[in-house]
Amino acid sequence: MTVQLRPEVQLHPEADLLLDYAAGSLSPALCVSVTAHLHFCDKCRAQDIALSEIGGDLLSSVGPEKMPENALEKVLLSLNSAEISDQAETIPIINEDMKKLPAFMSNIIAEPQFNFLTRSLKVAKIPIGENKYELALHKISAGGKTPKHDHRGLEVTVVLYGSFSDLDGTYNEGDFIIREPGDVHSPVATIDDECICLSVVEAPIRLVGPILRMINPFLSFSPV
Amino acid sequence: MTPLVNSSRDEWSELLTKVGNVQDKEAFSQLFGHFAPLIKGFLMKGAPFGYEQAEELAQEAMIKVWRKAGSFDEKKSSASTWIYTIARNCRIDWFRREARIKKDLKAEDLYDLVDENPAHSSLIQKRNQTTVRENLQVLPVEQLEVITKIYYEGKTHSEVAEELALPLGTVKSRIRLALKKMNIQLESLDVRVES
Ligand SMILES: [Zn+2]
């Protein structure tokens, strides 16, 4: 039996987000944020399986469309030429930050390049090839305070390592935090350890250049 | 032969397990005969695929099935659910290719097909699949429409709302009602941050 040492995940994505996830329609950055949450949350993982079952049922009950006569033959031939199994060999994780994160994150990024935003806050952008949302890792040093800031678009934060708190409460590993435009807060990492979060930020359509756009969710437009 | 302990164990899952364990081509051929036409049908149902693209993607998906079969665990899911997720990921990759996204990330990287967290394996049991299927059939038309559109067309619920010219709240509540009816809405999931 495994001993649960970490606090139970408190904040979950809504059911419709999980549905979009299982249906394969979420944009890549949001998709990664849900995968990160599922890593920590058995409840949502069970729900994801149930939602995928709907997909399986819809697949089974759809009217089949005839495949060309030689399709199977062609596929069998291509199996012969690519007999090796697709089980990706596991590359050992050497990056110290990545060692703290769920293993699947190394599929997304191998060597995050953290840059200081403030004395206690760093950000590493994760290029993922989409325009709508930006994906990044944020790291708050132990006990570090971040300036008060507001939110210009939808933001999702998933705690991957450690914990942080703001006026609304404390957030632990796995918590899936949604902020709507207009929310203002000022996160603080817990004293004893740093905190690493995955964040998804809706790319602002109007305002600012690429540097300022990286700043959310933890840096202020109005520094304290 | 081990006795069949799980009554919901189906023949497709057995075949898929064979493919995973011993690369059984005969078992794969049977799976292909059953699932390739279903994947093609599924893709043609909603997404903007002509029959040629749908055939190509169905073949691509079945090749993935062969290669990934080793990670299929019939205790966790059924063959149809597992193959659905493979086909779904092929469709995502197709959309990404079409959009000429240069980043070399595959849907399977975004989804974490193999979760290595040991806490999960003991907790997640395969659900009784017939329940979901039967319940899908008793959904009111307007709920079924939203659900099937999301799956067949790979659109988000907000895109579906826009397309059906419905308020987002209406679509959300249809989803909630449908999931509740299918017994897959976990109560605790209604909680979200109010900030
Ligand atoms: Zn959850």
- pLDDT higher than threshold 60 for residue B36: yes
Indicate the domain borders of chain A. Answer: 15-58, 111-218
Identify the closest residue of chain B to A6 by CA–CA distance. B119
User: Same domain, yes or no, for B43 and B21?
Assistant: yes
User: Same domain, yes or no, for B106 and B152?
Assistant: no
- How large is the angle between the packed helices B129-137 and A42-61, nearest 10 degrees? 60
Question: CB–CB of A65 and B70 under 8 A?
Answer: no
CA dist A39 and A35 (Å) reads 6
Of A40, A50, A55, the CB nearest to B84: A55
pLDDT of residue B174: 94
Q: Which residues of B touch A85 (CB under 8 A)?
A: 67, 70
Helix (H) or strand (E) holding A116: strand A115-118
Nearest to residue B110, comparing CAs of A88, A105, A199?
A: A105
Pick the CATH number of A111-218 from 2.60.40.1180, 3.40.50.300, 2.60.120.10, 2.40.160.20: 2.60.120.10
Q: CATH no. for residue B81?
A: 1.10.1740.10
Domain that holds residue B87: 11-110
Query: B108: pLDDT confidence band, cut at 50, 70 and 90?
Result: confident
User: Same domain, yes or no, for B151 and B97?
Assistant: no
**C-beta separation of B151 from A25 below 8 A:** no
Residue at a domain's end among B66, B91, B110:
B110
A46 touches chain B (CB under 8 A): yes
State the virtual CA torsion across A161, A163, A164, A170 in degrees, nearest 10.
Answer: 140
What are the backbone dihedrals phi and psi of residue B99, each rounded to the nearest 5 degrees, phi first? -80, 5
User: Same domain, yes or no, for B106 and B17?
Assistant: yes
B125-144: pLDDT as tens digits: 555 555 666 778 889 999 99
pLDDT of residue A167: 79
B61-98: pLDDT as tens digits: 999 999 999 999 988 888 999 999 999 999 999 988 88
CA dist A14 and A178 (Å) reads 10
- pLDDT higher than threshold 60 for residue B119: no
Of A14, A53, A130, the CB nearest to B129: A53
Nearest-Cα distance to chain B for A69, in Å, is 11
Residues whose CB is less than 8 angstroms from the CB of residue A125 and which lie 6 or more positions away in sequence, other chains included: A113, A134, A135, A136, A214
Question: CB–CB of B124 and A177 under 8 A?
Answer: no
- The predicted model gives B152-177 an average pLDDT of 94
Number of domains in chain B: 2
Residues whose CB is less than 8 angstroms from the CB of residue B99 and which lie 6 or more positions away in sequence, other chains included: none
pLDDT of residue B132: 64
CA dist B179 and B190 (Å) reads 12
Q: What is the DSSP letter of A153?
A: S
A183 touches chain B (CB under 8 A): yes
A179 strand-pairing partners:
A155
Query: pTM of the predicted model, to two decimals?
Result: 0.85
A136 strand-pairing partners:
A125, A199
pLDDT of residue A141: 87
A–B interface: beta-carbon pairs under 8 A: 233
> Which parts of chain A have pLDDT scores under 50?
1-2, 4, 205-216, 219-224
A44-92: pLDDT as tens digits: 988 898 899 899 999 998 899 999 999 999 999 988 765 555 555 667 7
pLDDT of residue B95: 86
Question: CB–CB of A78 and B63 under 8 A?
Answer: yes
pLDDT of residue A88: 55
CB atoms inside a 10 Å sphere around CB A104: 22
Of B88, B105, B157, the CB nearest to A108: B105
Q: What is the DSSP letter of B183?
A: T
Pick the CATH number of A15-58 from 3.40.50.300, 3.40.50.620, 1.10.10.1320, 2.60.40.1260: 1.10.10.1320
Mean pLDDT of chain B: 82
CB atoms inside a 10 Å sphere around CB A129: 15
